[in-house]
Structure 1
């Protein structure tokens, strides 16, 4: 999982990857820090999904653009369209099922 440091980096990442997932968090957020390694482990099952971490303190302006009101937030984009948004209380099992269904629809 790469780290994106600017609004421009986020936009470029979404545009260049057919399936992209963004994890918005903060190093001072206990829930964010606890969920992140579990989410990284989950993404190993989906090699076609490109992933990135966004530290909200680094890109505060992006919070408004992406309607981030709480953290952690996971956004999944397929061909530059947001298709999944999970926030705050995120179940790894639920997110795995949702990502799997979305990928099956996309890849046919």
Structure 2
């Protein structure tokens, strides 16, 4: 998953993609490191969903901009609007269901 390095890059990415997922983590978070490969694997089933990774230590403004109080955080956007979010404990089954719904809705 490619990284974004500024709040401006994050905003531009979300605005320019029909379906997007932003994964927010921190370097010292073991859950973040364990969850990232699972999210990347799941996204292989949804090639229309663009994804990016944000290090909250590198881009501390991300916490205030998206009201993220804990990591890891997965934020899903459709046409620039937040549609789904999970933080700390991200159930992969629920994430898969939400991505499937959005993918289906936008394919109609």
Partners of 1:47 and 1:75 lie apart in 2 by 17
Q: Give the count of matched residue pairs.
A: 108
Does 2:20 align with 1:20?
A: yes
Partners of 1:20 and 1:4 lie apart in 2 by 13
Residue 33 of structure 1 and its aligned partner are, at CA, apart by: 0.4
SS of 1:70's equivalent? coil
Q: String of CA shifts for 1:45-90, please: whole Å, max 9, x gaps.
A: 0000000000000110121010000111101110000001111111
Paired residue for 2:93?
A: 93
Poorly superposed stretches of 4+, deviation over 4 Å:
none
User: What is the RMSD of the two structures over their aligned residues, measured on CA atoms?
Assistant: 0.8
TM-score normalized by the length of structure 1:
0.96
Partners of 1:5 and 1:53 lie apart in 2 by 9
Partners of 2:97 and 2:78 lie apart in 1 by 16
In structure 2, the gaps of 5 or more residues are: none
In structure 1, the gaps of 5 or more residues are: none
Paired residue for 1:59?
A: 59
Partners of 1:61 and 1:35 lie apart in 2 by 22
TM-score normalized by the length of structure 2:
0.96
